[in-house]
Amino acid sequence: MTKRGRSIRVPVLARVEGEGALEIDIAGNRITRLDLRIYEPPRLFEKFLEGRSYLEVPDMVARICGICPVAYQMSAVAAIEDAFGFTPGPELRAWRRLLYCGEWIESHALHIHLLAAPDVLGFESVLDMAQAWPEVVERGLRLQALGNRILAVLGGRSVHPVSVRPGGFSRLPGPEALDPLQEACRAALETARDLVAWTASLDLPRETQDFPCVALRHPHEYPMNEGRIAATTGLEIPVSEFEAHFEEYQVPHSTALHSRLAGRSYLVGPLARLNLNRDRLPPPVAEALAATGIAFPSHNSHFSIVARAVEIFLALSEAVRILDDPPPAAPALARPLQPRAAEGFGCTEAPRGILYHRYRFDADGRVQAARITPPTSQNQARMEEDARLALERFGLDRPDEELRRYAERVIRNYDPCISCATHFLRLKVNRR
């Protein structure tokens, strides 16, 4: 380090899910090291899943993340059903999509208002922000509560819902719960549209970078539960080929594995999804997006907050569409699957991006091997690259405190869920 060398340490990253830290070394006008240090202890899920029945898997993997348990349940049932040769019918697909809409609304509303907005508006926490911006906070909490309500109506509770089983739901609600839910969702559509406009009106830094985006792509839906894995590089593959194209590797400063595509860091999550799937938005949502005046595809991570708002509006519109004419419950109820010795793959769009599961089962349906790749692990390398480039452009001669705040803000654009990211291990390691 030169005489002018200095280091910035953020020992505990605030307003992220889980435990992370940031370490930056600066020499003159260059960053010589930028580590997003993830020290959340590994919980070794992939190992203790071994020997468990496929029926236990959705309840277990939900515990990887309290903020996006449905994502884990959805990718798990997709992989289990793939292994056992079960294809969900249209009713089950619709009910699962409705459940997922609840999680997207809850998770995105929480991030926009409780985690991200304090950065933009200059507060330490939502508790301070609520004094100055009561109607903004109130709107956010209302949308978050509505997302949670969808989850609770379908799953019994919003964190670790209980009705998702391989092959279908254990039970589904009747009109006494669905009718008021439909009314509440319909009444919130305008609120969601306003939220899109509000996020676009915020003073967001113009910081464009070059990186590939990765998301699911479905023939006619905005992707949630199914699709092929697509990238802005032109890649488009079935879920079962994920591991052939995406490489995981370990770095010393993180208990979560990093990921790369053809040697490069890449982005998953709302901004990547929107960049790849704008043509799948229903017209009112596409109009709300166009009205922001922001050019998409966008390669500015600060616009992630706008992408999240667009996806709240999308998820709410989808929830209304499904609830306006709820499909019959009976065909969506869980039925016994026929376990067999097989491998299955599942990939769904968690609020933070693609979540990949692979399981190998024995003939009795017991897990022999599991592999889970969460979105935040995949975004780690991109987050570090983004923060490095953004800080250098921001100006390294600024005071440490300003640099620290800006770096944290860039990291938060990714809504990192560190609890998710660290609970995974590579299944096989070849040592020489």
Query: Which positions touch other proteins (CB under 8 A)?
Result: 12-19, 39-48, 52-53, 56, 59-60, 63-67, 69, 106, 110, 114-115, 118, 123-127, 130, 137-138, 141-142, 144-145, 148, 155-160, 162-163, 165, 170-171, 249-250, 252, 255, 417, 419, 425-427, 429, 431
φ and ψ at residue 277, rounded to 5 degrees: -130, 25
Q: In this complex, which beta carbon is closest to other proteins, that of residue 277 or of residue 376?
A: 376
Using alpha carbons, select from 325, 275, 313, 273 the residue that is nearest to residue 297. Answer: 275
CB of 159 to other proteins, least distance (A): 4
Q: In this complex, which beta carbon is closest to other proteins, that of residue 63 or of residue 245?
A: 63
Q: In this complex, which beta carbon is closest to other proteins, that of residue 1 or of residue 14?
A: 14
CB of 47 to other proteins, least distance (A): 5
Buried b (16+ CB within 10 A) or exposed e, 68-86: bbbbbbbbbbbbbbbbbeb
CB of 163 to other proteins, least distance (A): 5
* Residue 287 to residue 235: CA distance in whole angstroms: 28
Element (H, E) at 164: strand 164-165
Helices in 278-417 by DSSP H: which ranges?
283-291, 304-324, 375-394, 400-412
Q: In this complex, which beta carbon is closest to other proteins, that of residue 157 or of residue 393?
A: 157
CB of 164 to other proteins, least distance (A): 10
Q: In this complex, which beta carbon is closest to other proteins, that of residue 342 or of residue 427?
A: 427
CB of 291 to other proteins, least distance (A): 29
Q: In this complex, which beta carbon is closest to other proteins, that of residue 118 or of residue 353?
A: 118
Three-state DSSP class for 70?
Answer: helix
Give the count of beta carbons closer than 10 Å to the beta carbon of residue 2. Answer: 10
CB of 284 to other proteins, least distance (A): 27
Using alpha carbons, select from 254, 274, 141 the residue that is nearest to residue 195. Answer: 141
Q: Which string of DSSP letters, residue by residue, matches 304-317?
A: HHHHHHHHHHHHHH
